[in-house]
Amino acid sequence: MSFANAHQSIQRTIVNYAKTNYLNPALLAILLAARQNNRITAEDTGREAGKKRKLILNYLPPVCASTGSCATNLCDVDGNEVEPLQKDFLVGKCTASNVIKITLDNNRNLDNVTLSEWHLGVFANEMQAARNKLALEVLTVLAANVGKFPDGIATVKKAILADPKTGAFSPLGKALIEKVFLDTQMTNTPMVIGGDSVFVAQSMQSAGGIDQNGVNRGAATSLNNYFYDGLINQVFAGGENLIAFDPSMFKFVTWNRNAGRFATDDRDFNPQTAFQNKDTFYKGSIVDPVTGLLWDLNAKFDDCTDTWKYQFKLEWDMFFMPADSCTKPGVNGIFHFEGCELIEPTCPVAV
């Protein structure tokens, strides 16, 4: 008998092989905006964990004109009664992962990898896909709610941040965006999500200088609140697009179903411990380590087929605030700009 092939194969399992820590810049911008807006909080959607309730926002609208006179006698006039207005809000959107199926034999056939390590590695892969899906869905909602410009008519205007041929940064484009917010008495530091022109402007700004028209295209100006994300052109179905917004004018809010007394366990989910405890189902939560968002996690184990099924879900919505300054109807602090698509360079023809 030959023992030439009697050796054992050596396994090396890379649990975290796929890239699982990418955060779409558009989603980052919306999460940062939510942290700046404390007009409403996640707690306003339900006082008890696991119970969702409609929020009724009472607010005082801005006073847009003063017709008072110094000759007025309070005994002779009725006055303008000040009453709060109301706006309702209920979390109604949900983003879910695929249903994940893992069999016990998946782990049985792996060496030097624990049950928990393998399952959590699978979770990380799935979370990246769910995070990308959430970014697209959130950006789609934001794009669907762009308002009108200060004239009360236009819904899109031009703002060129970078020369489409040379890539040179254009300070005029940035100035035109910021002017819109000053004209509506809103923030002087808007946040902007844009396509290629944002990336090129940020990259080329430091390489600029004074051009033939005397414009310093390399002058120090902050583009820290500008976020490049190619998803925006996908949402608008082509072209070069930017959404500029006042972060105080909307709020991204999440809500968890598996919370408080509606969760089976408030501890972190451990597949190995659950298996040894003969647990057949779990309703809890899992933290996305990249965004910090808490997703509901549902798990079920079938001991007849030695199979786990998992799915995580995030219930969320975006609350668009009533106008807080004197604007025309439809002006909400979220503006759609169009830039110019970059011209792909060509090589000189040899002579």
Tell me the pLDDT tens digit for each residue of 217-227.
555 567 989 99
Q: Strand 307-320 and strand 250-255: pairing?
A: antiparallel
User: Cα(235)–Cα(75) distance, rounded to whole angstroms?
Assistant: 58
Residue 268 pLDDT: 73
Tell me the pLDDT tens digit for each residue of 197-218.
999 999 887 665 565 555 555 5
Question: Can you give the C-alpha Rg of the chain in angstroms?
Answer: 27
List for the chain the helix, strand, coil content (%; round to 5): 25, 20, 50
Going by C-alpha positions, the residue among 147, 196, 211 that lies closest to residue 339 is: 196
User: Cα(69)–Cα(95) distance, rounded to whole angstroms?
Assistant: 55
Q: Any idea what DSSP says for residue 311? A: E
Going by C-alpha positions, the residue among 123, 165, 101, 112 that lies closest to residue 20 is: 123
307 by DSSP, 3-state: which? strand
Residue 13 pLDDT: 65
Locate tokens 């991204």: which residue?
252
Q: Are 148 and 337 in contact (CB under 8 A)?
A: no
Going by C-alpha positions, the residue among 285, 310, 288, 289 that lies closest to residue 300 is: 310
User: Cα(213)–Cα(287) distance, rounded to whole angstroms?
Assistant: 53
Helix (H) or strand (E) holding 44: none
- With the CA atoms of 327, 140, 100 and 16 taken in that order, what torsion angle do they form, in degrees rounded to the nearest 10? -90
For the sheet with 334-338, list strands across it.
157-158, 334-338, 241-245, 191-194, 226-228
Q: What is the pLDDT along the chain (351 residues), one digit of tens a residue?
A: 566 666 566 666 676 777 889 999 999 999 999 998 888 777 777 777 888 888 888 888 888 888 888 988 889 888 888 888 888 889 999 999 999 999 988 878 777 788 888 888 899 999 999 999 999 999 999 999 999 999 888 899 999 999 888 888 888 999 999 999 999 988 888 999 999 999 999 988 766 556 555 555 555 567 989 999 999 999 999 899 999 999 999 999 999 998 888 888 766 778 888 878 888 888 888 999 999 999 999 999 888 999 999 999 999 999 998 888 888 888 999 999 999 998 888 888 877
Q: How many residues can be counted in the chain?
A: 351
Pull the structure tokens for residue 85.
């207005």
Helix (H) or strand (E) holding 232: helix 231-235
Residue 46 pLDDT: 73
Q: Any idea what DSSP says for residue 79? A: -
Q: How far is CA 271 from CA 100, 181, 238, 340, in A?
A: 14, 51, 44, 51
Residue 11 pLDDT: 63
Residue 2 pLDDT: 62
Q: Strand 226-228 and strand 157-158: pairing?
A: unpaired
Residue 96 pLDDT: 97
